[in-house]
């Protein structure tokens, strides 16, 4: 019976045993803006934060003072 000369590290063992593959993220289309975004995530569009088609937060206009 063959025996390995050196012990294999746990990282190498786990890399061999894994079956997880990189997948493309699933995108959804916003019902109110029509913009593509990640599922279950809020997204910005034209200075407003949308979640599930509703405005959650509006970005305040920043005033730039020139001295």
Domain ranges (residues) in the chain? 27-59
pLDDT tens digit sequence for 4-19? 899 999 999 998 888 8
3-state secondary structure of 10: helix
Taking Cα atoms as reference points, which of 35, 56, 60, 31 lies closest to residue 45?
35
pTM: 0.55
Q: How far apart are CA 4 and CA 14, in angstroms?
A: 17
pLDDT tens digit sequence for 14-58? 988 888 877 888 999 998 889 999 999 999 999 999 999 899 999
Tell me if 38 sits within 8 A of 25, measured CB to CB. yes
Q: What is the dihedral of CA 8, 14, 15, 19, to 10 degrees?
A: 150
Above 80 in pLDDT, residue 65? no
């Amino acid at each position: 019976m063959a025996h390995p000369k050196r012990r294999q590290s746990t990282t190498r063992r786990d890399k061999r045993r894994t079956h997880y593959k990189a997948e493309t993220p699933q995108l959804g289309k916003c019902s109110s803006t029509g913009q593509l975004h990640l599922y279950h995530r809020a997204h910005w569009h034209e200075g407003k934060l949308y979640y599930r088609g509703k405005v959650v937060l509006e970005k305040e206009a920043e005033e730039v003072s020139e001295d």
